[in-house]
Amino acid sequence: MDIKDCWNQIGVRARVDERCPKLERVIHCHNCEVYSRASRSILEQDFPADYQQQWADVYSREEPTLQASRFSSLIFRLGDEWFALAAQLIDEVARIKPIHRLPHVDSRIVKGLVNIRGELKICVSLSDILGLENASVSKVGEHVVFARIIVAHADDGQFVFPVSEVHGLHQYQEEELEGVPVTVSKATATYTVGMLKWKDRHVACLDNELLFYSLSKKLQ
């Protein structure tokens, strides 16, 4: 469509000495009938032949798939079972240290006090709350694996607990988690959000909030 844009050539926007004589009456090009007719003609013109197809192509495009969230967990062993705990909660993994029992404390959860970098911390038994038996040292093939102490934190404070072995960090996506089989003990299943296949093993991914909340309650 050929539109004569006189408002740009001799109108208020033009930098010329001789302006449109209609400006004396209408003051501004927006008030002029020529400008109004040009505006209507633009609005009333037919859509381009491929206009509908262009928008059809836009709406038919697939939304970009967001990258699945990745999680990082520390994999460790308690007895014969493997578990995973969120990596961001782990403060330290240390060699096993002497655990000094507390007198007059009759609790299977509290194992005693352990020295962590010069500070005495209450050592708890993760094995007991999960209904497992923990082993300190065991042989795997030709290698000897040693027990470790894990120092972790949560909103309710810091927790220290011994484990049979620590593998290290492992990353996975949420869709890799599988349901908890019926063969898993009731206590373990309570604190497990899903099972993760790792190498030739099944790893129980622990419910961090529920686990540490229960430990905190039992320590009160």
pLDDT per residue as tens, the chain (220 positions): 567 788 788 887 777 778 888 887 878 888 888 888 888 787 777 777 777 788 788 778 776 665 567 889 999 999 889 999 999 999 999 988 888 888 877 678 888 899 988 889 999 989 888 888 644 444 444 445 668 999 999 887 889 999 999 999 999 988 888 998 887 888 888 999 999 999 889 999 999 999 999 888 888 7
Let me know the angle formed at the C-alpha of 131 by 203 and 218, rounded to the nearest 5 degrees: 110
Task: Please state the domain extents for the chain.
Answer: 6-48, 70-219
Question: Which residues, 6+ apart, have CB-to-CB distance to 44 below 8 Å?
Answer: none
Query: Token pair 């694996």 is at which residue?
Result: 145
What superfamily in CATH does domain 70-219 come from? CheA-289, Domain 4 (2.40.50.180)
Place of tokens 């928008």: 55
pTM of the predicted model over 0.85:
no
Say what the pLDDT of residue 174 is. 86
Which of helix, strand or coil describes residue 70? strand
Q: What's the gap between Cα 186 and its chain centre?
A: 28
